[in-house]
Amino acid sequence: LSPGVDMGSAIYLKQLLIGPMANFVYLIADPESREAAVVDAAWDVDAILRVCEEDGLTLKANLVTHFHPDHLGGKFMGQHIPGAAELLERNVDVRTWIHKDEADYVARIAGLSRSDLVLTDADSELALGNLKIRFLHTPGHTPGSQCFLVDGNLVSGDTLFIGSCGRVDLPGSDPRQLYDSLVNKLKRLPDETVLYPGHDYADQPTSTIGAEKARNMFLRFDRLDQFLATMGYA
């Protein structure tokens, strides 16, 4: 568990490195009201709640970038990863916010009922005190992959990594959708937008959209066919 970073005075944003798959879990809060959301609460729910208690946060929502068990919790290769279900057991007021296209996956993988969920779409927003989190639907890695944009910061899940992007060879993946999400959505964000990825796959924990546009080959394709060929779909 990494102590992560606490960014600036306008926003509390802490990055936690948790679990054997190098997952990043995020805590986002309004520094004044201390109302908070966790992003992709998995692997060690007790540790996440302990940070909330130590930092005086009131957890209001569990935001999930996509349904894969290392981000959501649930069944994975014969084991159970703690996650959204365990968070509910410890705090009944914290529902899981996930894109509507992934509701069926959540029930099957994590055992959550529809009443445990807030189903989101491309126009969804969440207010935490004076802070507003905007939801961006970025399908491709999974049908309902979503990123969270807040105060110039992008929590990107497995859609965009530092120097790379999400896989498209898994059930529900679509390389054409991922190309559209990367080139027509995330690439158009301001260059100074700070990137917070879903895994610690690089030699640094954060980047910017401007830096990724300059160095990340998956943001530099001009045509879909070029992207598809690189991803093995020529």
Entry pTM:
0.94
Residue of 28, 33, 25 whose CA lies nearest to 8: 28
139: left (phi over 0), alpha (psi -120 to 50) or beta: beta
Facing residues of 16 across strands?
25
Distance CA(198)–CA(180), nearest Å, equals 19
Cβ atoms of 122 and 136 within 8 Å: the answer is yes
Sheet holding 131-137, edge to edge: 125-128, 131-137, 146-150, 153-157, 194-197, 207-208
Could you report the per-residue pLDDT of 141-157, keeping only the tens digit for each? Answer: 999 999 999 999 999 99
> C-alpha dihedral over 199, 204, 207, 213, to 10 degrees?
-90
- What are 44-95's pLDDT values in tens digits? 999 999 999 999 999 999 999 999 999 999 999 889 999 999 999 998 889 9
Bridge partners of 23, per DSSP, are 18, 199
For residue 1, pLDDT beyond 80: no
Q: How far apart are CA 176 and CA 156, in angstroms?
A: 18
Interval 155-178 mean pLDDT: 97
Tens digits of residue pLDDT in 222-234: 899 999 999 998 7
